[in-house]
Structure 1
Amino acid sequence: MQRNVGLSNAAAFMHVIRCNMGIGLLSVPWSISLVGLIFGPITFVSFMVVTTSCMVGLAESAQYYSRKVGVPCMDYGEVVYNSILHCPNARLREYARAARIFINTSITTMQLLFCSSYYVFIAQNLRQVLAVYWQDIPEDRVIMAIIWIPLTLTTFTRNLSGLAWLSTIGNILYVSAIVMIVKYLLEHAPLSSDISSMETVRFKEIPLFLSAIAFTAEGIAVILPLENSMKSSENLPYVLSVAFAIITLTATLIGVTGYITFGSSLCTSISLNLPHANPYSDGVRTLLAIVIFFSYPLQFYVPMDILWTVIEAKFQPKNRCCELLSKLGLSTLLCIGAVCLPFLESIVTVSGSLLACPLQLIFPSLVTIMMLNQQHDENMLPHPDPNNGTSLEHQHRDTGRVFPAHFLSTRPSVRLLRMLKNIFVALLGVFITISGLVSAVSSTIQEYQTSSSSSQCRGGVQPRIDDRAEISGLYHSTNTSLPNVTF
């Protein structure tokens, strides 16, 4: 794998922010509503701290194995492959290739699920916006089929440089939409009301909650590509820490104020809870729909590139028409998947438990454990720098790769603490994957049985706040009791 150096710390920081601020951030209020106002935010912040630590450990392992093998850089699958290939257990080494295939398949599948969730998200948000002007607007599945055409056309570009400026505009629009949501929530959150009922911990929902928040840190696949492209890769831990601190604080603020404002009626995306037929709210939903629309070809590019490489190796197509047909077929399958499963909650929780959690917690922890063991066996301590007599860093003479000394620390106490921490995180990841997947499947079955296409969380409409006041005044003026209507 070739190393492409040139990315500054600031650019890497912006990439981390953008890749982890998507649909997952908008689902945090719903996630917190599952388990309560106290347990939810505390657990969410703790989970994000652990996830950041795992990402740093993965980058550390990538540097270690790059130096060990003598290559400029590695992707996620290559790191897992080399960690198993160099372990002392001969039987375990037989599974190195299978582990690499599993990692690459998981990343590809996760990216495809992201793309499928974009159909659901765009359709349901646009449906609420268009319902003001389209009285008999069709259900969200029909809108997914309609937007399939323009979304598929965006994937036909071969060079993504043409979409770079659209991505930049999308970043600005997304930040604007988030600021507008935070402003609305801070202005409308009933902070003076009794919120004691929101503090109750619902233990049976904890697996589903953990699966949902695992979806929030959705940028695990870009960590090593960023590390490979940075001018100063030793600064990646600091870049990740600052970026995820901002993401965590923003998500926690939206989550807490969103839950206080809308209570247990929260939808998976908080944008669907904003008032209907309100220019401000419709502006937020429109901005988010545009951002996700132009993010689709960027997300689609990664799995399509992997699949096209496999197709080229096996079938050796000779013209561009085959590539376009492959993109058309894959985008069509994603649309069909969204139509068959138009529940954003199900996509978030299933992908969070089955894919995001192993990629974020289990495999980074296991790779770090194997790296620490191999460091200990090799007694790989930093060598003095001949220029100044210090031992601040290693530098591979062939690749020019710099390796900070703290990445190669073998102090027994530090190693033991890191081993225990990573064992705990790996076990936690296994628990979330199994229990979360069971809860997610159960929740999906329940959604199929009870969900209605006219519901607010499927992009259905709701009366305006002003209309409620008018209705209430009308009934009081006629001395007629107000019926028990749930909006």
Structure 2
Amino acid sequence: MTLNSFPEDQDERGAKSFPNESYPSNSNENPMPNDGAENVNHTSMDMTPVGTGLDQISNNTSAPHQTQNKPGKWRMATLIPPVGSVPHDYEPYDHRGDIVKGATTNTETLIHLMKGSLGMGMLAMPVSFKNAGILDGIISCVVVSFIASYGMHQLLRMQHHVSKQLGVPLIDYADAMKHAVTGGPKYLSWLARPAPYFVDFFLCSFQIGVCCIYVSFISNNLKQISDEYWITLNIHTWFVITGAIVLPLNQLRNLHHLSPLSTAGDFLVLGGLGVVFYYIFRDGITVSPEVALIPDTPFKGFALFFGTLMTAVQSIGVIVSLENNMKTPADYRKPFGVFNIGMVFITCLYGFTGLVGYCKYGNATQGSVTLNLPKESILPVLVKLAFAFVILFTYPLQCFMPIDILWRNYVRIHVHKSSNKKWAYNSMLRIALVVFPVLISSLIPILDLLISTVGAFTLPTVGITFPAIMELSVFHKEKRLTSWIFIKCIALIIFGIFSMILCTYVCLFSM
């Protein structure tokens, strides 16, 4: 696992700038000069930090975003080419090589996708089966994974479609949605102006939510070890201790410094998962008498399961970035392509882990299966420390996307051009992205409920609702909107909105 960096010549979204001769930009201003924050190096898909699904942060999810750099003005995309300026046969995939260096093969991409599934999302699956029961858990795992995967197919398809219309190799999620809904049906076209901000809000909310989960995971594991071998402190004290440890790490501007630790993290995670499965199967496959096929409260169980599984499998950053960095991106979304093969593997792996973990520990299953490992043996202690270590040094990577979005689009344009002030404001933003997760973790100290809440609130919107809105709008503009496409998109929009509202409500009132 290595961390590569993009050049410092970047646009307002933080993506690598590239020449585009198809159309002029509406902005006549020069890019803002480099400052202390400009040394944030962008990561390529050689990086596979461990976590909850959205683990590999590549700025290709926010690739070229042309903006008007006027302080005090909301940034709006200006990627609107003159009529007839884009060749009819323009193919974005053919021009990816102009901006993507070190592109990955199909096999490498599949390995990255599978590696990205090994982490906290997997460790939380047993408790999700505890909430849903065996029967509902298995069915929901397949159905929710299918819907989440289809949403990603829609998103990638619409990003490619808009890129082709605009004559650009890549376009970010926010701009793609803005241009997709522009000129669409009247009941959706009003979204054109606020669309980039909605996308930014939910993407940042998810990544900050992942940071909250990381703080809770590290704190819970360290507390369990400390209670057994050292001193007993309440969980809120451990939240503060974890925040104090993370604080200096999150000030790193150059993520390349984490490369050796990221490489070591691969081996620690694989070894840790091996130990987890060893303890699950050590005494043979036994089923706890507390295991239920269907829970007493099926709707509540599904809501909690839904949030956890969405957090685990709806890895927008990973999925989009992997496709953006492929040598043959057209192979990614084929019926038997890289993405579908990877998602089948991930769904089976997560379902298997959740099933055997719940069967082993029953109602005693905790928010992370590592917390169920024996306390009296040294090997489980080492596993908990290993996972805590890996998650700790993955924290700055998870903060990368919200820092990039918030700084470049909402903070920097309001800061005086003094480089010292920019460095100070950027540092304060990084501090806030540690303090805020610590506070949220303190408000929701139960790890499994925190995971479910984060997934239920953020991902149905950006992973299901928005892609369906984009597809409906694009097909309407092109007069290709059939009854089937209309019904399908409306159903997905309704499902995404209601699942977000209802599942978030259940998660919050389950505390």
State yes or no: 1:357 paired with 2:460.
Answer: yes
> Which of 392, 410, 415 pairs up with 1:293?
392
Counterparts of 1:367 and 1:187, CA distance in 2: 49
Counterparts of 1:121 and 1:149, CA distance in 2: 15
8 Å Cα contact 2:469/2:489 also seen in 1: yes
3-state SS in 1 of match to 2:170: coil
After superposition, residues 427-446 of structure 1 pair within 5 angstroms as 427-444=494-511
Letter in 1 for 2:338: V
8 Å Cα contact 1:54/1:364 also seen in 2: yes
1:222 aligned residue: 318
Counterparts of 2:240 and 2:103, CA distance in 1: 39
8 Å Cα contact 1:20/1:218 also seen in 2: no
After superposition, residues 142-157 of structure 1 pair within 5 angstroms as 142-157=237-252
Residue 212 of structure 1 and its aligned partner are, at CA, apart by: 2.4
8 Å Cα contact 2:148/2:314 also seen in 1: no
Q: 1:301 to 1:311 in 2, by over 3 A?
A: same
Counterparts of 2:135 and 2:284, CA distance in 1: 17
Letter in 2 for 1:360: G
Q: 1:249 to 1:232 in 2, by over 3 A?
A: same
1:385 aligned residue: none
Residue 125 of structure 1 and its aligned partner are, at CA, apart by: 0.6
> Which of 38, 44, 47 pairs up with 2:141?
44
- Deviation larger for 91-100 or 145-154: 91-100
Gapped runs of 5+ residues in structure 1?
378-411, 445-487
2:53 aligned residue: none
> Which of 151, 167, 173 pairs up with 1:54?
151
2:8 aligned residue: none
- Deviation larger for 46-55 or 170-179: 170-179
Counterparts of 2:284 and 2:492, CA distance in 1: 35
Residue 324 of structure 1 and its aligned partner are, at CA, apart by: 2.4
Counterparts of 1:370 and 1:29, CA distance in 2: 39
After superposition, residues 202-241 of structure 1 pair within 5 angstroms as 202-205=297-300, 206-237=302-333, 238-241=337-340
1:403 aligned residue: none
Q: 1:416 to 1:286 in 2, by over 3 A?
A: farther
Residue 420 of structure 1 and its aligned partner are, at CA, apart by: 4.0
Residue 201 of structure 1 and its aligned partner are, at CA, apart by: 6.6
Residue 259 of structure 1 and its aligned partner are, at CA, apart by: 0.9
8 Å Cα contact 1:24/1:218 also seen in 2: no
- Deviation larger for 278-287 or 27-36: 278-287
Q: 1:246 to 1:202 in 2, by over 3 A?
A: same
Q: 1:174 to 1:95 in 2, by over 3 A?
A: same
Q: Output one character per residue of 1:314-337: Cα deviation in whole Å (capped at 9) or x when no partner.
A: 113422344223322332232233
> Which of 366, 376, 398 pairs up with 1:267?
366
> Which of 274, 279, 285 pairs up with 2:378?
279
3-state SS in 1 of match to 2:228: coil
- Deviation larger for 162-171 or 256-265: 162-171
8 Å Cα contact 1:107/1:221 also seen in 2: no
Letter in 2 for 1:439: V
Q: 1:101 to 1:439 in 2, by over 3 A?
A: same
1:314 aligned residue: 414
8 Å Cα contact 2:155/2:467 also seen in 1: yes
Residue 88 of structure 1 and its aligned partner are, at CA, apart by: 4.4
When the two chains are superposed, the root-mean-square deviation of aligned CA atoms in Å is 2.4
After superposition, residues 347-386 of structure 1 pair within 5 angstroms as 347-377=450-480
2:87 aligned residue: none
Counterparts of 1:425 and 1:182, CA distance in 2: 36
Residue 112 of structure 1 and its aligned partner are, at CA, apart by: 0.7
Counterparts of 2:275 and 2:485, CA distance in 1: 41
1:74 aligned residue: 171
Counterparts of 2:291 and 2:363, CA distance in 1: 13
Q: Output one character per residue of 1:398-438: Cα deviation in whole Å (capped at 9) or x when no partner.
A: xxxxxxxxxxxxxx9xx655554443333322231121011
Letter in 2 for 1:327: R
3-state SS in 1 of match to 2:510: helix
2:490 aligned residue: 423
> Which of 167, 178, 182 pairs up with 2:262?
167
State yes or no: 1:336 paired with 2:431.
Answer: no
Residue 61 of structure 1 and its aligned partner are, at CA, apart by: 0.8
Residue 367 of structure 1 and its aligned partner are, at CA, apart by: 1.8
3-state SS in 2 of match to 1:276: coil
Q: 1:248 to 1:200 in 2, by over 3 A?
A: same
Q: 1:188 to 1:356 in 2, by over 3 A?
A: farther
2:110 aligned residue: 13
Q: Output one character per residue of 1:54-78: Cα deviation in whole Å (capped at 9) or x when no partner.
A: 1112111111111112222111111
Q: 1:95 to 1:271 in 2, by over 3 A?
A: same
- Deviation larger for 176-185 or 291-300: 176-185
Letter in 2 for 1:303: P
Counterparts of 1:218 and 1:129, CA distance in 2: 31
Counterparts of 1:17 and 1:327, CA distance in 2: 30
Higher helix share: 1
3-state SS in 2 of match to 1:94: helix
Counterparts of 2:265 and 2:319, CA distance in 1: 21
Residue 12 of structure 1 and its aligned partner are, at CA, apart by: 2.9
TM-score (norm 2): 0.74
Residue 439 of structure 1 and its aligned partner are, at CA, apart by: 0.5
Larger Rg: 1
Q: Output one character per residue of 1:269-297: Cα deviation in whole Å (capped at 9) or x when no partner.
A: 11111221222322221221111111101
- Deviation larger for 271-280 or 364-373: 364-373
Q: Say how many residue pairs are matched.
A: 406
Q: 1:94 to 1:370 in 2, by over 3 A?
A: closer
TM-score (norm 1): 0.77
> Which of 242, 249, 255 pairs up with 2:348?
249
8 Å Cα contact 1:354/1:433 also seen in 2: yes
Identity of matched residues, %: 24
Q: Output one character per residue of 1:169-218: Cα deviation in whole Å (capped at 9) or x when no partner.
A: 22332222222212321234653676774455742322232222222224
2:72 aligned residue: none
Counterparts of 1:223 and 1:375, CA distance in 2: 27
Counterparts of 1:430 and 1:35, CA distance in 2: 21
8 Å Cα contact 1:211/1:357 also seen in 2: no
3-state SS in 2 of match to 1:443: coil
Q: 1:38 to 1:117 in 2, by over 3 A?
A: same
Residue 158 of structure 1 and its aligned partner are, at CA, apart by: 1.1
Residue 79 of structure 1 and its aligned partner are, at CA, apart by: 1.6
8 Å Cα contact 1:365/1:426 also seen in 2: yes
8 Å Cα contact 1:155/1:301 also seen in 2: no
Counterparts of 2:290 and 2:449, CA distance in 1: 28
